[in-house]
Amino acid sequence: MKNISKLFLSFLATAILLSSCKEKEYVLGDLKAPTNLAITAVVKGVTTATPNGDGSGDVTFTVSADNALSYKIDYDATNALDLVYLPTGTTTKKYTTLGTNTYKVTAVAYGRGGTSTTITKDVTVQSNFTPDAAVVANLTGGSSKTWIVDKSVAGHFGVGPWSGSIVPEWWAASVNEKVTAAPCFYTAGFKFTAVSATSYTLQVTTPDGAFTKTGGNATLAGIPGSGDEGCYAYAGGTSNFSFIPASTAVPAANSTRTSILLAGTNTFIGYGSLQKEYEILSISATAMYLRVQGTETGNAWYLKLKAL
């Protein structure tokens, strides 16, 4: 009888406990998209005499909105949309396209539950740049000079992260590494010519084809729509190029802070890359070290060339 009483009391206690428990309610709140979204753009060096800035190309952006949890920004929506996260809502961007150019800037504010609001703003910026005379002289020899990938040194081709590192820490080629797999990598020539004090051309000759990827990872005419990385028939080409201030954050201790910007899509340096800005990390009369954004997002490629 005592056992039955204990069992009954235990059952009663459990029933009371369960009846006292209430289901918790979770309230997300109103899913209202951010409002009053605004982009403030301060172009460095704006005066009455220089309404588009001092030529540095620097613009400080501030994005703000009511009820926003985070922001993203695209600095030039005329190209493919590339939204960058803004942890504080404020950042400084350096525009490097020479001359006076107008950029369509897009900002997105994100609110609760993934709601968002978008705004665009046109910003006109002046970018001027005079490269170091030594860089120009070393690259062109004062008139014309031809360069090739230097297979005789380790690390003549390498891969590392685009951000947070300035070395090919993921992979670096050994001496002569691609002689068998991709001989065209070492026979392609890149002739840089100073046409005038402000005009430059690059002529690419590829007797054994171009070393490149295929399909959407290549911009060179005639490259197949699919296939492995390797040598592909390519007739070469000539294009203009310009010197621009490097758009990366590589410190001056590790870079000339000068880039080669190729015009058009029919030339390349070393590797048939999608990107056309090659930052000159170092250069002498006989050796050049370049860094360019790789075809895969987040990659940086490194190239070492020698003068002929």
For the chain, the domains span 35-127, 133-307
Per the CB < 8 A criterion, the answer to whether 268 and 294 are in contact is: no
| Distance, CA of 64 to CA of 41 (rounded, Å) | 12
Average pLDDT for residues 20-30, to the nearest whole number? 53
- Per-residue pLDDT band at 12 (split at 50, 70, 90): very low
The CATH classification number of 133-307 equals 2.40.128
Q: In what order do the strands lie in the sheet with 116-127?
A: 84-86, 70-74, 99-110, 116-127
pLDDT at residue 28 above 70? no
What predicted TM-score, i.e. pTM, was given to this entire model? 0.74
Please tell me the distance from the alpha carbon of residue 157 to that of residue 205, in angstroms, as a whole number: 19
pLDDT interval class at 274 (50, 70, 90)? confident
CATH 2.102.10.10 is held by the domain 35-127: no
